[in-house]
Every structure is written in structure tokens, then in C-alpha cells.
Chains A and B, each alone.
Chain A
């Protein structure tokens, strides 16, 4: 993440004053459902609480500013009435509401990454008969996008049944391909629901090393803060050098309280236990628990993760309320193994796919959807908080094949 976020935060504070009216609207929306009945807070027609992407806060390096798609000067979000029974979806900005918003960012991210896939399809299907050879090439292109052999074969099989031998254009193929993929992804596109009434709603964040757990927590923290929730971090990565300090810096930047271990190498479960108690006393609404990255085939480390859960349950039988598995989009077919093991060991409730702004296509998500059906809550398409977005099947699929 780049320091741009900080400017966003300032901007947010400033804009918050201007938007008292919106706040009222939001309150209304939140209050509408029958009390005691949880609903998702759908943002009003306005773009929500997202700090502008091109904040003036400064680029990481002089002369080395990564060009980012312009975002509209979005008005920050109303502080949501935290005490009321609502479920908050992170970053619930409607895709259509903001031109240059999240969708275009996802698109521009994916456009780069799928340039080759698209090119391939384009050259392949310009006025061409969909024959056996063409289907095979299509299958290979899907494989190149990390969909895996099995998922690619299934998708192509659908094509064979419905369109074999027909003259098709590349547009048709792309649209159909996107449809096919979207149909697979649609059932898993759920936002992560967080219930502040639980005070705290505990989110355990797990994953293998280097997928972006800490960064994702920082982004979530900022989003929840912008929604007006009180949010705490638990620096449960007591193993990696300076991981605690990394989260502490994020805590300062986002205004989330950080529960840090007394000394490096401390027991993460003990830390989580104390943090949950402190969060309960303080009435913190969301508690994001970071954990050390671990390879799923290390039984001892996975056991350690289970211990964290056991210990959390001692204080709150329902905790952790969400177990978020963070997956790196560059991961290939091993993602299937990762999800399988983490799901078995710690009952993962949903996925976050990070680094989708790179050249990796994250196609393994399609295979994951078919295999496990776990909800995909969010995707990371950039380094700032507003680049952590809800996962939407249609957009993802269309972005993947290079359609507008």
C-alpha cells in the first residue's frame, strides 16, 4: 500500500462534515428493517465513503507515481449508526454509481492482465468455425488463465454442446465465455457480513505466507472505520520479523486499536484471548485477527491456528464469526489444496483474492467455486483501501475475458 491512503483519511474527515444530510439518509436506511433483524446496509444511490484514489497525499517516489484511474471525488461516507442492528458490507459501493469507480479499476487491472487472453480469443475467432481445434485452443487459453484443466474442460464442454460447428465471431465467443464463467461464479459472490451488535464481530484472517493478510486487514480496517464502526486489530503474526510493527503502523493510519503481543514470539492464541476480552470491555464492534502466514501442509502450524479458535470460543461461543482465507491471485492450482486444507482445519467462511491488479488472472477462483462453493467476499485490485472491492461474478467474468 502506498501512503496515498493518508490523504484519503484527511479528506474523509473534511468531507464528513459536509455530508450530514447523507448521514441522515443512511441512518434511515439502516433503521428501516425491523429491529433485531439483520440486514445488509446497501448504500444509497450515492457513492460511499471511499476516499478518492488520486489523493494529493504523495506518491511513493518522486517521479515514480503509478498512474491510477481517476476516481470521482467521492464524498465520504456517513458514520453509520453503529449501535443499531445492521450488517455492514465492506466497501459497498455500487459498481454503476461511480464511473471510474471500482469496476473500471477492476477492469483496467484485469484488462492488462487479460490482454493476452483477449488477443488470443480475438485472433482465434474472427469469423471462424467453432471446430474441434478451435475448442482445444479455447481450452488452452482458459488453462493459461489458471482455471485449471478440469474447470477449463467443463466450460469448453458447454461450448461444444451449444455451439459446435457454428460460425462465430470473437465478440460472441467472449460474451458466451463470460456468461459461462459468471454462471459458475454467481453463487459464490457474497459480501462478508459483519454484525456490529456482536461487539465485537471477530474476523480471523488466515492464509499461506505472503498472500497479503496484513494488508487486507488494513484495508478492511479503513473501510469499517469509514463506515463509522469501531475496529480493532490483533497483531497475531508473532513469528515474522516486524509483522507486529507493520500492523501497528496501519493501526495508527486507520485509527484502529492494535492489540500487540508483549514480546516477539509470544503465543498468538493467548494474545487473541486477551484482545477479545479487551475488545468486549471496550465495546469494539469489529475485531480483525491477523495470523502468521503458514503453509497448509504444516500440521503443527495448522494446529496452532485451531488453538486460536478454541481459545476465542472460550470467551464467545460464536467466535470467530468469520474466517477469511486470503488467496494470492498469482497462485496456481495449489490454491485448491490450500482452500481444502484451511477449510477442513479452521472452517473458512469466505475468501479474499488479492493482487488481481497484476498480470495474474486469478482464474483459479473459477475452479475453487466449482470445487468448494465457498463465498468469495472481496478482491484486491490495487494498493489502496478503495481497491478492496466486493466480488461480483459478472464483472469479474467479463473483466477476465476482456469485455466492457
Chain B
């Protein structure tokens, strides 16, 4: 979600980088761009002002203008401010996730606007508490507004494999809450998750109702669930819930979308409550911990490039890489080379993880994820090649039916998979031959299209 903001700030700082030295007006312009980028990322105006003021103050204090690499320094200051605004930096106690340190059953109250994702998040939290924390969880829906809302939570509970409070039609939210806590005590549940109906922050009656539920159940955590797509209104919503109900933590949902997620900054600033969890998908296990430093790093699109380079340097053998490049150019690429390439990629971790570290790959990353980028394919292919004799690897043409059967049996795969690998390798060497024929100029002229045979089949990467 933060990729778009990243690219904006990258744009600003690219310009700064090119200039080398900064003038006072440069800084001013950079800050203006930072401001616009943050606003377009839906960070609320008061928060933006505050953030920009802090950046300016520090930038001036550190005499950015005379420093050796001013752009880097500005980036670092912005990064620090973002981390702090998101709850990291100094004073960060490193505590993440839910606080369950209370007498069982621990009540958790979920609140938020309509359609923010409270019910789904309740199911996700239940699954996580049950699986990771080995808790006995009871889910109870207090939503008597929306048709079938209680049924929805019940079905989610079944999917997560946790208990849900039996539905009794006609009960008020307060009655349901009391019944849930009662059942929680009698049947020794560790955690009772109370999922409430969505409500507008300005709906007095419903806000009073949720306040009453809170007073009656005294929840250990009151989680405000907010959509990452929320705009400037995040401030109003957060403030209203904070004032009327009191919020101990924030859950941001739909961070798997492409919203820039500035609401995270706004709400953290308004409530002071930490962002505890992120909902990142429709499946029940798509719940992540929130890390301010990582998110800030992604906003800036800087942080992780360092670790990418580090990791690449650690794993890739430079000499071998050069040797392979030379062979590719001569069109001598064989299955052995392919296998060693696969191994190196595998050492670096998941492909989408690697790509995620590159600044500005946001969109591409989403496409690659959709293409079912799966490193297990790479492992399987390595196994297939491993089951071949050296002769077969050098001259794959000799591999016919009976050899294929042997290779498949040896690698624990099927003949189809062996065929697929060979076909792919064929395409690949055809492409490389074409590449060496085209040469550098040809590549520029014809573009990549000239290289692709036909419409191109599916490839693992």
C-alpha cells in the first residue's frame, strides 16, 4: 500500500540527489513535495503539518545545506519522523500485537465504521489466538443491525475452528455481551471476542450503546478497525471512538490493496493508540503484525535496498555469475547452468520477498504475485535436473521416454513435469541464441518483443 507514496518521495529526492548541494529553496520545495505526497497518501492535514514542521526543524538544526550528502540526510530525517509518527523510534517498547495479560476470560471489543472489516478481523484474530497462542477463544457477534451479521461470524468461527456464541434472535447487544461473558466464565474460555455492529462516529445512539457494552464488559483491549483506504475522515473517526469508547489499539485492514494508507499515520497521531495488527487478505490467516520501522522504510522506498544488496553479495558468487553471462552470450547455456542459477535464486529467499525490497516495484510485485510465483517450482526443477546424468544435462536432446521416466521417478515428479522443464529450457536457449544474434543494438531496436517466441507460454519467472 505504501508503494505509491514511496515513488512520489523517490521522485522528489531523485531530483535532490542529482543536484548534489541544496539551497534553502530546495529544502523548501522538497518539503512542499513531501507535504503533497503525504496528503495524496491520505495522511490527515493536521498530521501532515506537524510532520513537515518537525522535518523542517530538524533539517535546519542539522545544517543539511552544508552536509556532504544533503538528500540522504533529508531522507533520513523524514524516515525518522515517519517511524516516530507510526509509534517507533525512541520510546518504542517493542511490544507488538495484542495484550492478553488479564484474568481469563479476556474480553476483546471490536469497534469501527460499517464495512471496515470488523467481523473478518475478529475471525482472523480468533484463528491466530487459537493457533499461535493456544488460547480457547469464543466469538460473539453483537451486530443486530445488519441482516445475517451474526451468521457471518458464526460461519467464520467454524472456518477458524473456534467456538461461537449460539445465536438467540431478538437479544440486544448488551444482553448478548453479558451472555458471552457468562459463557466465557462458565466454560473457561481464555478470550472472548465481542464483534460489534458498524456505526458512524456521529451516531449518538449507537455510540452510547457501544460505550454501554464497554462499561458492562470492561474489555482488556478495544480495537478500532479501520480500512486502509480511509481518507481525511480517519481523524474524525479515530477521535470520536477515542472520546466515546476509548481505544487501546488499531487494526488496519485491506493493506493488501493499493491505498497509500496514510490513515495509519493520522489515526496513530490522533488516538495515541498503537497500530497493532494489519489485515492483508481475504483468507483467515492473512493477519500481520505492524512494524513502524519497516512501514516507514517502505514509505520512503529506501530501507530495504540495503539489505537486498547485502543479501545478494552474500549469496551470489561473482566469478560464477560472470562466467555464466559469458556462456549465455555464446549460446552455450545448458541445464547445469540453469540448475546453478536456480540454486542462487533459491538462496536469496522468496522471489516476491526479494522484489519487495526494490524501490518502485510495487505494481510489478502485485502482478508477479498474481502470476503464482512459487519458489517450490524452482526447487522441483532443481530436483529434476539433479536426477539427470551429467551427459543429459549437457545435451538434453538425448532425453527420451525411458530416460524421462527414470528422471521423474528419481526426482519424485511426473513425466509431465520433466517435459515442461525441457520445453521451458528449449524456449530459453532459443531466446538466448536470438539474443546473441541480435546483439546489443538489435535488442534496443526490437525491444523485448523480438526475443519472445510467439505469445510465450507460462514461465516460472
Interface residues of A (CB under 8 A from B): 1-2, 60-62, 64-67, 112-113, 116, 140, 143-146, 148-149, 208-212, 215, 239-243, 245-246, 248-250, 295-300, 328, 330-335, 337-338, 355, 357-361, 364, 383
Asked if A333 and B40 make an inter-chain contact with CB atoms under 8 angstroms apart, the answer reads yes
Minimal Cβ-Cβ distance residue in B for A355: B114
Minimal Cβ-Cβ distance residue in B for A147: B232
* B291 → A minimal CB distance (Å): 22
Answer yes or no: B436 CB below 8 A from chain A CBs. Answer: no
Asked if B370 and A330 make an inter-chain contact with CB atoms under 8 angstroms apart, the answer reads no
Counting chain A CB atoms within 10 Å of each CB, the highest count among B36, B206, B230, B234 belongs to B230
Asked if A359 and B240 make an inter-chain contact with CB atoms under 8 angstroms apart, the answer reads yes
Asked if B254 and A332 make an inter-chain contact with CB atoms under 8 angstroms apart, the answer reads no
Asked if B237 and A359 make an inter-chain contact with CB atoms under 8 angstroms apart, the answer reads yes
Asked if A1 meets B145 with Cβ closer than 8 Å, knowing A330-B227, A334-B257, A334-B260, the reply is yes
Asked if B227 and A296 make an inter-chain contact with CB atoms under 8 angstroms apart, the answer reads no
| Complexed CA–CA distance, A350 and B305 (Å) | 42
Asked if B258 and A296 make an inter-chain contact with CB atoms under 8 angstroms apart, the answer reads yes
Which one of B41, B149, B230 contacts A242 once the chains associate, using CB atoms below 8 Å?
B149
Answer yes or no: B155 CB below 8 A from chain A CBs. Answer: yes
Which one of A241, A250, A355, A357 contacts B159 once the chains associate, using CB atoms below 8 Å?
A241
| Complexed CA–CA distance, A239 and B113 (Å) | 22
The 10 A-B residue pairs whose C-beta atoms are closest, nearest first, are A332-B231, A210-B115, A332-B42, A242-B152, A241-B155, A360-B233, A249-B147, A334-B259, A246-B148, A245-B148
* B232 → A minimal CB distance (Å): 5
Asked if B208 and A146 make an inter-chain contact with CB atoms under 8 angstroms apart, the answer reads no
Contacts of A211 in B (CB 8 A): 115
Asked if A332 meets B230 with Cβ closer than 8 Å, knowing A296-B257, A355-B113, the reply is yes
Which one of A64, A209, A337 contacts B117 once the chains associate, using CB atoms below 8 Å?
A209
| Complexed CA–CA distance, A215 and B146 (Å) | 9
Asked if A61 and B144 make an inter-chain contact with CB atoms under 8 angstroms apart, the answer reads yes
| Complexed CA–CA distance, A241 and B122 (Å) | 13
Answer yes or no: B288 CB below 8 A from chain A CBs. Answer: no
A-B contact pairs, 21 of them (CB 8 A): A61-B173, A61-B209, A64-B208, A66-B204, A67-B204, A112-B202, A208-B229, A210-B227, A241-B153, A246-B152, A250-B147, A297-B257, A297-B258, A328-B229, A330-B230, A330-B237, A332-B233, A334-B257, A359-B202, A359-B233, A361-B233
Asked if A295 and B147 make an inter-chain contact with CB atoms under 8 angstroms apart, the answer reads no
Asked if A143 and B39 make an inter-chain contact with CB atoms under 8 angstroms apart, the answer reads yes
Asked if A334 meets B366 with Cβ closer than 8 Å, knowing A241-B152, A359-B240, the reply is no
Minimal Cβ-Cβ distance residue in A for B119: A241
Among B197-225, those with CB < 8 Å from A are 200-206, 208-209
| Complexed CA–CA distance, A2 and B197 (Å) | 12
Which one of A65, A333, A383 contacts B231 once the chains associate, using CB atoms below 8 Å?
A333
| Complexed CA–CA distance, A201 and B1 (Å) | 37
Answer yes or no: B62 CB below 8 A from chain A CBs. Answer: no
Contacts of A241 in B (CB 8 A): 119, 123, 151-153, 155-156, 159
Asked if B232 and A143 make an inter-chain contact with CB atoms under 8 angstroms apart, the answer reads yes
Answer yes or no: B329 CB below 8 A from chain A CBs. Answer: no
Minimal Cβ-Cβ distance residue in B for A329: B233
Minimal Cβ-Cβ distance residue in A for B38: A149
Asked if A358 and B113 make an inter-chain contact with CB atoms under 8 angstroms apart, the answer reads yes
Among B104-127, those with CB < 8 Å from A are 113-117, 119-120, 123
Minimal Cβ-Cβ distance residue in B for A297: B258
Asked if A330 and B155 make an inter-chain contact with CB atoms under 8 angstroms apart, the answer reads no
* A307 → B minimal CB distance (Å): 15
| Complexed CA–CA distance, A11 and B200 (Å) | 28
| Complexed CA–CA distance, A290 and B396 (Å) | 53
| Complexed CA–CA distance, A151 and B336 (Å) | 57
* A111 → B minimal CB distance (Å): 10
Asked if B149 and A359 make an inter-chain contact with CB atoms under 8 angstroms apart, the answer reads no
